[in-house]
Amino acid sequence: MTTKPLSLHEPVFAGNEWSYVKECLDTGWVSSAGKFVDRFETDLARVCGTRRAVALVNGTAALDLALRLIGVRAGDEVIVPSLTFLATVNAVAYQGAVPLFADVEEPTFGLDPDALEAFLAAETETRGGACVRRGSGRRVAACVPMHALGRSVRLEPLLDACARRGIPVIEDAAEALGSSYRGRPLGSFGRAGVLSFNGNKIATTGGGGALVTDDEALAARAKHLSTQAKSDADAFWHDAVGYNHRLPNVNAAIGCAQLEQLDGFVARKREIAAAYRDAFAGTALSLFWEPAGSRSNFWLNAVLARDAETAARVLKSLRARGVGARPMWAPAHLQPMYRDAPRAPLPVTERLWRTSVCLPSSASLTDAQVREVAAAAVEAAAG
Ligand SMILES: *Cc1c(COP(=O)(O)O)cnc(C)c1O
């Protein structure tokens, strides 16, 4: 159909990337200190509406640090969706904690606040100020909602269910930079939010991530741990087991240029989503749209088919035509490392996984390409 295969997501470097990177090379400030790191953190905090942003080496490291900093410890349980990129769940395991899988809901592909409330009400109790799951006797130490494909979780009831039990929330907003819920940026609702600037995300630093928060002490601690917890850098004294999780200045330079273009990326993504929606209107496939009360960056688009066989046919047919369509993430509770992890019933997770297909969504796509992809998908769905 097209001469060049359409990839799922391609970065766009149309702004000041070259000149900012050149400045790093010309001045020798290529590593983990430099003005672009500081500027990236300031710019990012502004975009996210938080007091602080801490630039980190990737989103996975940011999740790891966030969970450690809010006090998740070995033997705790952490509520996570099973329908997510596995990094969300691995970050729980890094603490020696156990993921507690909860189901998602169709309108958001994210944690279902009503199902979670019912589960917590039936299965947990408060003991000595902590929320404890009766079945395991373990503390439920955190909840990590993930904003799937840039669409917002129904945050109000979710935050409420967690707050009433003293469960801190870390938002996995890795896919949701530029999205908002009730007019407020995603990533700014929990104790901290986590972002990713991997090459496939809406804005990239090559590889990169960040932790955003209103909590100054938490941000300072994140910065400290990410720089090997140096207490006296000149004499090489350290006061904790830290990491080298800093974002290099060269990467931050790319990020500064990308953030300058973020509004444009989001605007184009929204046009692409609208073009998909129009092309799928009245067909057997429906586009994963924007949940009520939220504004999505439409980072990636996905269609839902009526059954698993239809979705598999659509995926196979698009791929045969050189379209870089992809299945949704295989659920975490089916991965070998997490098969024995505790869980609530996960019927929606398994259904959405089997019936959805992710479609090319690069900001560089033309409307004509979107219509071609959609027409091919509709034809495949019809059998
Ligand atoms: C990309 C992503 C991450 C991890 O980010 P990296 O920068 O690749 O480490 C975490 N969670 C979700 C949902 C993601 O999509």
* Tens digits of residue pLDDT in 205-222: 999 999 999 999 999 999
CATH of domain 262-382: 3.90.1150.10
* Tens digits of residue pLDDT in 251-272: 999 999 999 999 999 999 999 9
Shortest-distance atom of ligand 1 to CA 175: 15
Supply φ then ψ for residue 71, to 5 degrees. Answer: 95, 20
> Quick one: average pLDDT of 174-180?
98
On whether the pTM is more than 0.95, the answer is yes
Report pLDDT for 2: 47
CA of 16 to the centre of ligand 1 (A): 25
Share of the chain above pLDDT 90, in %: 94
Per-domain boundaries in the chain: 17-260, 262-382
Q: What is the dihedral of CA 270, 330, 380, 4, to 10 degrees?
A: 60
CA of 3 to the centre of ligand 1 (A): 30
- Is pLDDT of 6 > 90? no
CA of 211 to the centre of ligand 1 (A): 12
Which residue of 63, 64, 172, 243 sits with most ligand 1 atoms within 8 Å of its CB, as the best mutation to test the pocket?
A: 172
* Tens digits of residue pLDDT in 147-166: 999 999 999 999 999 999 99
Shortest-distance atom of ligand 1 to CA 146: 13
Going by pLDDT thresholds of 50, 70 and 90, the confidence category of residue 383 is confident
CA of 174 to the centre of ligand 1 (A): 5
- Is pLDDT of 3 > 70? no
Query: Which two three-digit tokens encode residue 46?
Result: 């502004």
Going by pLDDT thresholds of 50, 70 and 90, the confidence category of residue 7 is confident
* Tens digits of residue pLDDT in 103-118: 999 999 999 999 999 9
Shortest-distance atom of ligand 1 to CA 201: 1
Q: How many CA atoms lie within 13 A of 361 on its CB side?
A: 29
* Tens digits of residue pLDDT in 77-99: 999 999 999 999 999 999 999 99
Going by pLDDT thresholds of 50, 70 and 90, the confidence category of residue 4 is low
Which residue of 8, 60, 186 sits with most ligand 1 atoms within 8 Å of its CB, as the best mutation to test the pocket?
A: 60
Give the binding-site residues of ligand 1, using a 6 Å CB cut-off: 58-60, 84-85, 87-88, 146, 172, 174-175, 196, 198, 209
Mean per-residue pLDDT of the chain: 96
Tell me the CATH architecture of domain 17-260.
Answer: 3-Layer(aba) Sandwich (3.40)
CA of 194 to the centre of ligand 1 (A): 9
> Quick one: average pLDDT of 8-26?
95
Sequence-separated (6 or more) residues with CB below 8 Å from residue 31: 248, 249
Nearest in space to 105 (alpha carbons), one of 344, 280, 372? 344
Shortest-distance atom of ligand 1 to CA 87: 10
CA distance 350 to 329: 11
- Is pLDDT of 1 > 60? no
